[in-house]
Amino acid sequence: MVYIKVNLCRGFERVRSRLYGERMRILGVWTWSKHLLLTLTGLVVLSTNSSSQAQPEAEASGPSPELNFFEYEKSVNAGRVFTASPADSAHDYDVLKYTLDVKLVPSVIGNRFRGHVSILATSQMGGLNTLILDFIGMTVDSCEVNSANASSSRIGNKLHVNLGGTYNPGDTFSVDVFYHGNPLAGFYFQSNNYGTPIYYSFTEPYDSRYWFPCYDLPNDKAMLELFCTAPEGNFAVANGKLLSVTHNLDTTVTYHWEENYPIVTYLISLTVCDFAQIDTFAIVGGDTLPVNYWVYHQDSTEAVTDFLKTPKMIEHFSDIWIDYPFVGEKYSMAQAELGGAMEHQTCTSWGFPMPGNATWEWVVAHELSHQWWGDLVTCNDFANIWLNEGFASYSEVLWQEYEYGQTAKNSHLAGFESQIYAAANGSVSQPIYNPPSQYLFATAVYKKGGWVLHMLRYVLGDSLFFNGMATYAQNYAYRTANTEQFKAEMENYSGQDLDWYFNQWVYSPNYPKYNWSWAYTSIGNNYYLDISINQKQTVPGAYKMPIQFKLTRASGDSIITLNDSLKNQSFSLVLDSAPLGLTFDPNYWILSPDSLKTYPHLIGDVTDDSSVTLADAIYLVNILFKGYTFPSPVAVADVSGDCKITLGDVVYYVNYLFKSGPALQLGCP
C-alpha cells in the first residue's frame, strides 16, 4: 500500500556568505536541541502513558510558566503578537480570495523573499475607502487597486491601502501588494540536520502578517491560490491541489497550488526543500484520497513506518465524525524544522524526529484530527482555542481506543491527567476558555480540554456525543465557531441543557477533588450501604457530575451511578446481599484525584446530635423493637462492627458506656 517515489531533483548548490553559513550553523545547533528536547519529552510522555490511572494527585509546588514542547513554536509565536480576546466576527471587509506569488532567492542574503499578494474582498460597511491589512516588516514596493496604482502607508503594524473611492456592503474590489525583504518571522530560511536547505512557513497564531499582507485573524476564511518559485532541485508543498510545475530558463522552478476550500491565514502553508516523496492513499466515502509525505531523503525509510497508520486514521475519523473534509485534494505531511508539528490545511508540517518505530503515532493522530477540528471548523478567535486543541488531544485518545483498546485509551488519559495535576498552579488554575496569553497553548487547553470532551461523552453517552459532534462539524463546515455555538449544537442534538456542564468545566478553572467513603450493615435480609462524597476543591465550590461506582458482591460486579452536586453529599442504598467492595469511577470517566477516607460520622452517634450518650443506646433499642427511623448512615447503629444490627449492639453500647468496653465501630467494612 505504501511505496516510495524519490524526487530526482537533487543537489541544489547552496551559495552562502561566511556570515550566512555561521547563522545556519547556529540554527543547526538549535534544531538539534529541539529534536533532543522533543525526544526527551516523548520519553516522558510514553513513560507516563504506560502507567495506570494517575491517582492520587500530586500537587504542583507553585505557579510557573508552561512551555508546550508538543507544539513548541506555537507558544513561541504567541509571544510576538497577542490578541486572544473574543472577536467580533464582523469587520470592515470580507476577504474572498488570496493569491500569493512568492519567489525565494536564498542566495541574496538581504533580499531572499519577493512577494506579491492579490486580495479579492467585499466591503462589509458603508463608505469603505481604506483597506487596512496586517503586515509587519519587509518593504512594500507598490500597491494597486483594481489594477490601478494606489497609494499606501505603514502605520504601526498595519498597511493602509487607499482604495481610491468608497465601497458599500456587497461591493467587491481587488488589492495587489508587491513587497520584498527578509521575513522577521512566519517564514524561515534554514538548513536541516543533514545540511539541506529548507524554507517554510509557520505562523499560528498571528505570524502570517510577517510573510504576506492579510487580515490575520481566524474569523475570516478565504480561498487560496499560491505560486512559489524557488531554485531548481526543490519541491514546494502547499495547501490544496498541485496544478502545475514549470521549470524556468533561469534554473528556477515554479509550483502552482490551489486550495478550493475556505482557509484562514494561520493555516496557509508553504514548505520548500529537496524532498523524497512517499505516496499512499485512504478510502473515504468510496473514493480514493491521495496521502503524501514529503520528507528528507535520509528519513524516507523511517517515515514509511512512522506514518504507516495515517490512512487508517483518516478512515476511522471519517467513520466516527464526517468524511475527510478536503476531498478532491489530499492529506499530506511535510518535514520542516519547526519545534513540534502544525496542522496546516491538507498539509501538516512535521518537526518531530523520525525514529522509524512509530514513537510519535499519537502526534500523527493529533495533527490529522485537526483537519476536522481546526481546519474544517476553526475557532472563531484564539479565546476559543480549546475547540481546536482540546478536540485534537481527545482524538489521540479515540485513536488509542480504536487501535489498541480500553487499556491504551485509559493509559493515554492517565498521561493527560498527570500533566494536568502538574499544572494545577499554572494553566489549569485558569479556565480553558480565553486563557491568559502565557497559557494559550499550555496544558489546560490541550489536556484538560481533551478530558472535557471525554467527560461530555460520558454525560451524553456515545450515540448522542458522536452524532452531536458530527452535526456540529456539518453545521459549521468551512466556517468558524465559538464555544457557545458548540454548546448549542450539542444541546440541540441531545435535547439536554448543558449550561451546568460548560460553566464548571469550560468557563471555570481547576477540577474536582473527591474524598469518598462507604459503610454498610444489615438488618434482617436487607443490607444498607451508605456512600459519602466530599469535594475538597475551593473553586468551583461544587461540581455536578454523575459518578459511577463498581459494586462488588458475591454474585458479581455491577455499576451504580450517583448524581453528586453538593460540597458534601451522602447516598443510601438498600441491597439484597452484602457489598464486598466499592470502586470509585471504575471506567475512568471523571477528571479528579480521589481518596478513600474513613466515613465522616461520629462513631456511635445514632441520634446525630454530635455526642455519644445513653440516648444513643436507647434509640438503638427503639430501632430494633419500635420501628424507629434508621439513622444515616445506617451503619452507625452497628457499633459492634459485625455487619449487622442486633440486640448485641445494645449490649456492646452499654458495656462501652458503663464498663469501659471495647471502642465503638461504624459497621463494615
> What does the domain layout of the chain look like in residue ranges?
87-378, 381-505, 514-658
pLDDT band at residue 54 using 50, 70 and 90 as cut-offs: very low
Q: Are strands 331-335 and 287-296 parallel, antiparallel or unpaired?
A: parallel
- The pLDDT value recorded for residue 64 is 44
Q: Any residues with CB less than 8 A from the CB of 449 and at least 6 apart, and which? A: 386, 389, 390, 391, 393, 394, 432
Mean pLDDT of the chain: 90
pLDDT at res. 358: 97
Question: Which range, 35-39, 257-261, 653-657, is most confident?
Answer: 257-261
* pLDDT given for residue 61 in this prediction: 34
**pLDDT at site 76:** 81
- 633 pLDDT higher than 50: yes
Q: What is the band of 78 on the pLDDT scale with cuts at 50, 70, 90?
A: confident
Are domains 381-505 and 514-658 of this chain identical in fold? no
- CATH number (1.10.390.10, 3.40.50.720, 1.10.10.60, 3.40.630.30) of 381-505 reads 1.10.390.10
Q: Which three-class secondary structure string do you get for 271-315?
A: EEECEEEEEEEEEECCEEEEEEEEEEHHHHHHHHHHCCCHHHHHH
Average pLDDT of the segment spanning 137-156 = 98
Q: Cβ of 355: how many Cβ atoms within 10 Å?
A: 14
Rounded average pLDDT over 410-429: 97
Q: Does residue 198 register a pLDDT over 80?
A: yes
**pLDDT of the residue at 75:** 79
* pLDDT at residue 74 in the model: 83
Annotate 244-270 with DSSP letters as a single string.
Answer: EEEE-TTSEEEEEEEEEEEE-GGG--E
What's the mean pLDDT in 6-33?
A: 33
Lowest mean pLDDT among 224-238, 486-500, 613-627: 613-627
Residue percentage of the chain with pLDDT more than 90: 86
Is residue 650 very low, low, confident or very high in pLDDT (cuts 50, 70, 90)? very high
412 pLDDT above the threshold of 70: yes
At 53 the pLDDT is 41
Contact between 448 and 511 under an 8 Å Cβ cutoff? The reply is yes
The string of DSSP letters for 87-155 reads PPS--SEEEEEEEEEEEE-TTSTT--EEEEEEEEEEE-STTEEEEEEE--SSEEEEEEETTEEE-EEEE
For residue 289, which amino acid is it? L
pLDDT of residue 470: 98
Percent with pLDDT over 70 in the chain:
88
pLDDT (mean) for 361-388? 98
**Confidence class of residue 84 from pLDDT cuts 50, 70 and 90?**
low
**CA distance linking residue 265 with residue 98, whole number of Å:** 9
pLDDT of 67 > 90? The answer is no
Q: Output 538-545 pairs: Cβ under 8 A, ≥24 positions apart.
A: 538/510, 539/508, 539/509, 539/510, 540/504, 540/508, 540/510, 541/567, 542/566, 542/567, 543/504, 543/512, 544/500, 544/501, 544/504, 545/455, 545/459, 545/512, 545/590
pLDDT at 22: 33
The residue behind cell 470517566 is 589
Tell me the mean pLDDT in the region 622-628: 93
| pLDDT of 42 strictly over 50 | no
For the whole model, what pTM was predicted? 0.90
What value does the mean pLDDT take over residues 483-488? Answer: 98
The answer, yes or no, to whether residue 562 has pLDDT greater than 80, is: yes
Q: What is the pLDDT of residue 23?
A: 33
Would you state the CATH architecture of domain 87-378? Sandwich (2.60)
| Residue 20, pLDDT score | 30
115 pLDDT more than 50: yes
Give 527's strand partners.
522, 575
More confident residue, 222 or 51: 222
pLDDT tens per residue, range 457-476: 999 999 999 999 999 999 99
Higher pLDDT, 24 or 607: 607
Q: Which CATH superfamily is 514-658 part of?
A: Aminopeptidase N, middle-beta domain (2.60.40.1840)
Cell numbers describing residue 652: 456492646
Contact call for residues 227 and 254 (beta carbons, < 8 A) = yes
272-331 per-position pLDDT tens digit = 999 999 999 999 999 999 999 999 999 999 999 999 999 999 999 999 999 999 999 999
pLDDT of residue 144 exceeding 80, the answer is yes
Confidence of residue 669 (pLDDT cuts 50, 70, 90): very high
Residue owning grid cell 518559485? 229
User: What pLDDT was estimated at residue 465?
Assistant: 98
Give the model's pLDDT for residue 68. Answer: 66
Closest-CA residue to 323 (of 413, 404, 261): 261
pLDDT value at residue 79: 78
Average pLDDT over residues 558-586: 97
Please, which residues bridge with residue 284 across strands?
287
Counting every residue written for the chain, the total comes to 669
